[in-house]
């Protein structure tokens, strides 16, 4: 793979990766948010595969394939299944539509997109000293991973539905993984497998907690749960 082609494909994968995080802030339907998260998983997997192919590291290519299987396949499947269960249980009460949409996030769409732009600028400003030390194509893309970390944290603290907050947690993890890949030109396979299994376990636990919340209180809206506490 030539250097020019590698740089173009790497920029394309990083652009798709960051764009997916921004789109999560834009859409309201939880099903659409899960689909966008799956697309981001594909972009993250492509990022790892590109790094591995460029450096002739087949272990890193294997990491990319594993990332694609987990974050574009297994995790979105678990989220869709949890959302389908939620919808089926709420249809009898006629509130399924409300439960499958982010109807009233703490920050509206316009302000969220503006915040995402500011967070991206902040990521580029923070990463500038690091990119100046080693101005390779991978290092120059490092701010993208940092931006997705910040956007994922923003989604986590501003969304009111528990499934959307789970997606925010996963965006945060995707950003951390991308940052590690770009900063170190890949991580050992055993490390990535360990982290991936930890993430899978966390999602399973969060799914069970969401199900128990819905069964006990009839909703996954965090504000409604606060009102019950008050």
Where do we find the tokens 């969401």? 210
Domain boundaries in the chain? 3-229
Which tokens belong to 67? 């990332």
Question: What 3-state class would DSSP assign to 12?
Answer: helix
Residue 174 CB-density burial (10 A; 0-12 exposed, 13-18 middle, 19+ buried): buried
Helix ranges restricted to H, 56-108? 58-69, 75-91, 96-99
C-beta separation of 75 from 169 below 8 A: no
Rg (alpha carbons) of the chain, rounded to whole number: 18
pLDDT, tens only, 29-83: 888 999 999 999 999 999 999 998 888 888 888 888 888 988 898 888 888 887 7
pLDDT, tens only, 182-191: 887 655 554 5
Where do we find the tokens 């990083």? 14
């Amino acid at each position: 793979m030539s250097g020019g082609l590698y740089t173009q494909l790497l920029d394309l994968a990083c652009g798709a990766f960051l764009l997916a995080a921004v789109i999560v802030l834009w859409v309201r339907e939880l099903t659409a948010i899960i689909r966008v998260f799956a697309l981001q998983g594909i972009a993250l997997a492509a990022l790892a595969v590109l790094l591995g192919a460029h450096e002739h590291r087949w272990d890193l290519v294997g990491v990319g394939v594993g990332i694609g299987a987990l974050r574009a396949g297994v995790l979105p499947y678990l989220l869709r299944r949890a959302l389908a269960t939620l919808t089926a249980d709420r249809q009898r009460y006629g509130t399924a539509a409300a439960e499958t949409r982010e109807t009233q996030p703490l920050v509206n769409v316009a302000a969220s997109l503006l915040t995402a732009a500011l967070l991206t600028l902040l990521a580029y400003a923070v990463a500038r000293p690091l990119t100046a030390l080693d101005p390779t194509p991978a290092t120059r893309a490092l701010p993208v991973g940092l931006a997705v970390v910040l956007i994922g944290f923003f989604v986590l603290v501003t969304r009111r539905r528990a499934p959307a907050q789970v997606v925010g947690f996963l965006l945060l993890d995707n950003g951390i993984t991308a940052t590690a890949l770009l900063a170190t030109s890949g991580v050992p396979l055993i490390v990535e497998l360990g982290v991936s299994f930890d993430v899978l376990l966390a999602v399973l636990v969060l799914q069970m907690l969401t199900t128990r919340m819905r069964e006990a209180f009839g909703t996954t809206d965090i504000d409604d749960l606060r009102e019950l506490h008050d």
